[in-house]
Amino acid sequence: MNRREFLAASVATPLAASALAASEPPTALKGRLKQSVCRWCFGQTPLDDLCKNAAAMGIKSVELLNPDEWETASKHGVTCAVASFVKSNPIGKGFNRVENHEAILKELKERLPLVKAAGIPNQIVFSGNRAGLSDPEGLKNCAAGLKQITPLAEQLGVTIVMELLNSKVDHKDYMCDRTPWGAELVQRVGSPRFKLLYDIYHMQIMEGDVIRTVRDYIDSIAHYHTAGVPGRNEIDATQELNYRAICEAIVEKGFQGYLAQEFIPKRDGMTSLREAVAICDV
């Protein structure tokens, strides 16, 4: 299952066995790297339980939530580090085509003030798929569209983040699929309120060399996602990435944003999440 498939699902089944005792004190983390968790890949756990468990683990955010879910996170003392996408800008339909701009910009102009009022730092956007469009043309179109919304983002203090996704396995034909392309877009937009969401799982599949990339492009990155490669499962020793070393590289560069767990657990979700948090707590 990928994110697109999950979001198309209608009903999630609760897993009561995953719930932590409400009286369990919050875990004290080192605090050098703020951690978050993506709601979609823990969809079998009710949102109330996920937020409660996340807070108990020392996680600061449950993200990719819709506006009607933000209050649930807040109730449990966690934020939503990244607001979910607006309806006119799903993964495959994005800023790389001029004909999409009007609808996306309209929704973002409505969404960003709500994001600000809720204390959410980031709003996700997508480039869209190529569908025969060249990368240079898509780059030009994305920059033109984003420049129309970043003044509002700057005024509100909300960062718009475009996610880097792999076009090899999970999101065929997606345009923003390499870090240099995304970093060039950041430069062309030229706003402190537009940056990249660097998904470590996706970029390991597309280009590898994660630690060097993290160091070289730190100024273009506002947020990180995790998952094990291959398979998008736990980030433990069953997969090829050294997440502890990656997280060390991120904090060594002075990163102040969030890193979110976005793996699909193969076993009890809350056990896997707790272990992932410990791995990344450098």
In the chain, where the domains are located: 27-280
pLDDT of residue 131: 97
Question: Which one, of 46, 3, 25, lies nearest residue 270 by Cα?
Answer: 46
CA distance 278 to 272: 10
C-alpha distance from residue 98 to each of 90, 141, 142 (Å): 15, 6, 8
CATH hierarchy code of domain 27-280: 3.20.20.150
Residue 80 contacts residue 39 (beta carbons within 8 Å): no
Alpha-carbon dihedral sign for residues 114, 116, 120, 125: positive
Question: Which one, of 167, 160, 238, 247, lies nearest residue 200 by Cα?
Answer: 247
Residue 47 contacts residue 76 (beta carbons within 8 Å): no
Residue 146 contacts residue 188 (beta carbons within 8 Å): no
User: What are residue 224's DSSP bridge partners?
Assistant: 198, 259
pLDDT per residue as tens, the chain (282 positions): 565 554 544 333 334 334 443 345 567 889 899 999 999 999 989 999 999 999 999 999 999 999 999 999 999 999 999 999 999 999 999 999 999 999 999 999 999 999 999 999 999 999 999 999 999 999 999 999 999 999 999 999 999 999 999 999 999 999 999 999 999 999 999 999 999 999 999 999 999 999 999 999 999 999 999 999 999 999 999 999 999 999 999 999 999 999 999 999 999 999 999 999 999 999
CB atoms inside a 10 Å sphere around CB 141: 22
Question: Which one, of 89, 65, 90, lies nearest residue 78 by Cα?
Answer: 65
